[in-house]
Amino acid sequence: MTVMPAEGLFSLMWLLIALPLAGAAILLFTGRRSNAWGPYLGVLTVSASAVIGVLLLIEMMGLPTEERTITQVAYQWVFIGNFSVDLAFQLDQLSMVFILLITIVGSLIHIYSLGYMAHDPDKRKFFGYLNLFVAAMLLLVMANNYLLLYVGWEGVGVASYLLIGFWQQKRSAAAAAKKAFIINRVGDVGLSLAIMLMFVTFGSVTFSDVFGSATQASEGTLTAIGLLLLLAAAGKSAQFPLQAWLLDAMEGPTPVSALIHAATMVTAGVYLIARSNVIYNNAEIAAMAVIIVALITIFMGAIIGSAKDDIKKALAGSTMSQIGYMMLAVGLGPIGYVFAIFHLLTHGVFKAGLFLGAGSVMHGMNDNVNMRRYGALRSVMVITFITFMAGYLAIIGIPPFSGFWSKDEIIHAAFERGWFIGGAAVLAAGITGFYMTRMVAMTFFGKKRWETDAHPHESPAVMTIPLIILGLGSTFLGMALLFWGDIEAWLEPVVGYESEPTPLPTSAYIGITLAFVIVGSIIGWITYARREVPIEAPQGNWLTRAARKDLYGDAVNHALVVAPTNYAARALVWFDARIVDGFVNGSAAIVGGLSGRMRRTQSGFIRSYALSMVGGAVLVLLALVLVRI
């Protein structure tokens, strides 16, 4: 694979990042003055990036396959001894699809936010943070080395923190922001350790150098790097065991949940592993760990999604579960990378649509998120209902909606690896059918359970147009990418693709999957549409109760991390106060006491001063004479 220098249109690629970054800078530094026009500037910069992205795609499609990796070096960034890193961008097929996802979905969500945040007094700040996020995320996917990727990685982390806590006057939002940030730090440590290990092993952190010499490193080293990268990915993508922050992150404004915590940032972990495919291809244990983490998360997310009454948290559980599918696919190796990215793209679109739909519902229901107080909304919010249904059918995987194509490919690839993994993936697909049907049934069907002061209404056009576009995407994107875009051939040069024979024909797997999905959906429909939904949540069985508490994720974190840290901190405070301060204060007291005594030698009497001089001179002379003898 040759790396081409950026020429012609490609020399503009830095603008992709620079535009939203400049937007963020302007919005955040001009302060309240930009409240009036700031949001439009925010939309404009991201839309311009999206246009550039599309132009670059067209340009790239005109190039021969082997010339589609293009780098642009801005300048030499770090240069210490033999450690040298450029601030350089790499554009290839993989980063291209991410750029399009980030900028196009980002633009739609920016537009939607014009309506959603219209009455917020700090909206310019909101758009500034959103622009910052887009810039950081683009940096993440366009970096040509791990160190620059790390900058983007931290940048999205910061933006996510700022946006989750955007309504920081709410204690819960501030706490959720902190929680997200801190849990992400754990993953970030993994990434930084991985980068250091790469530098020690390969002497470089540039993608091309690392992947070029990966096979020369020992498998143990590669496994270590792979596991550390998995830790990083688990943090950013809310995978087990670092999943606990995502549900709380729903405290942020809904467009944030749609853009950052569903469509883009949380998929950065999948990007990281897909980008590092060479490492995982040579480290079987690390790849296996990815699969295990993915399977656990798929079920955790699905179970949590089945029990939550908060529409956003239910969707967040579903996000965890769907990203689990992507992680599963990247863990499968060359048979799965392509489909992981495929599912990532379709999911990015339909999940963004579902979140924005949820936001539209909340908008009409006085920001109430409790699905037990919804019901029968299909007739009052027609556009929201139809677009939501498109997303619903996409996520549960009904043909020909887009999720069907991508998820089906992953399940198929899972069966290529073995019955157990494939079976688990199918079972989880059935649960997906259940919880999504439950959500749709509780929200749009059944009887009205509205609060007395709720007057549900359809949202304004600025919000519904993005919904329609995303709804169309939920419907057609899968087919478009698979049949017209030929996603497999497009991504194959970057991540590799191979297919293995399976015992059953493809249609059999489709049939099995659909059967599970339909059974799950029917159970959901019977339980939540045909029967009365109580306004107060019933006690439920043990699994429901556990799922409502996020499967005790917080309790585990508290027992394993928070409590020991608190004890350690208290012990250190004691050590600091008693031992360290005792030593310091003790010596200070001694010095101060000496000072007080010596001060008395300054009597003010000239005779004693003169005596001291004579004494000093005598001592000097005596010393000199004594030394001689």
Partner 1 sequence: MNTFTAPEIDYVAIAPILIVAIAALLSVLTETFLPRSVRRPVQMILTLISLIGALIVLVINRDIRTITGGGAVAIDGPALVLMGTILILALLSAFLVAERSLDSLGDSFAPSAAALPGSVDEREFSARGYFQTEIWTLFLFAVLGMLAFVVANDLLFMFVALEVMSLPLYLMVGMARRRRLLSQEAALKYFVLGAFSSAFFIFGAGLVYGFAGSISLPEINDALASTAGETLLIVIGMAMLLVGLLFKVGAVPFHQWTPDVYQGAPTPITAFMGATVKVAAFGAMMRLLYVAFSGIQWDWEIILWAVSILSMIIGSLIALTQSDVKRMLAYSAIAQSGFILVGVVAASPSGISAVMFYLIAYGLVTVGTLAVISMVRDSTGEATHLSKWAGLGKKSPVLGAVMAVFMLSLAGIPLTSGFVIKFSVFAAGIAEGDTWLVIAAVVASIIAAFFYVRVIVVMFFSAPNENTASVAVPSIFTTITVAATVTATLVLGIIPQPMIDLLTNAGIFIR
The torsion angles phi and psi of 119, rounded to 5 degrees, stand at -100, 10
Residue-wise over 219-243: b if at least 16 C-beta within 10 A, else e? eebbbbbbbbbbbbbbbbbbbbbbb
CA 301 to CA 299: how far, in whole Å? 5
| Residue number with CB closer to partner 1 (76 or 612) | 612
Other CB atoms within 10 A of residue 196 CB: 13
CB of 629 to partner 1, least distance (A): 10
| Residue number with CB closer to partner 1 (561 or 591) | 591
CB of 615 to partner 1, least distance (A): 7
CB of 203 to partner 1, least distance (A): 33
| Residue number with CB closer to partner 1 (78 or 620) | 620
| Residue number with CB closer to partner 1 (452 or 595) | 595
Cβ neighbors of 185 (< 8 A, separation 6 or more) are: 235
Residue type at 286? A
CB of 576 to partner 1, least distance (A): 19
Binding site residues, partner 1, CB under 8 A: 588, 591-592, 594-596, 598-599, 601-602, 604, 606, 608-610, 612-613, 615-617, 619-621, 623-625, 627-628
| Residue number with CB closer to partner 1 (58 or 617) | 617
DSSP annotation string for 346-405: HHHHHHHHHHHHHHHHHHHTTT--BGGG----TTT-HHHHHHHHHHHHHHHT-TTSHHHH
Run of H or E residues at 290: helix 284-307
Only one residue has tokens 């056009």, namely 461
| Residue number with CB closer to partner 1 (119 or 628) | 628
| Residue number with CB closer to partner 1 (566 or 608) | 608
Identify which of 307, 503, 510, 478 has the alpha carbon closest to the alpha carbon of residue 406: 478
Only one residue has tokens 């600091």, namely 576
Answer whether 392's CB lies under 8 Å from 524's CB. Answer: no
Identify which of 445, 387, 393 has the alpha carbon closest to the alpha carbon of residue 258: 387
CB of 582 to partner 1, least distance (A): 18
Answer whether 34's CB lies under 8 Å from 125's CB. Answer: no
Answer whether 164's CB lies under 8 Å from 177's CB. Answer: yes
| Residue number with CB closer to partner 1 (507 or 595) | 595
CB of 627 to partner 1, least distance (A): 7
CB of 179 to partner 1, least distance (A): 34
CB of 580 to partner 1, least distance (A): 16
CB of 596 to partner 1, least distance (A): 5
| Residue number with CB closer to partner 1 (503 or 604) | 604
CA 283 to CA 229: how far, in whole Å? 12
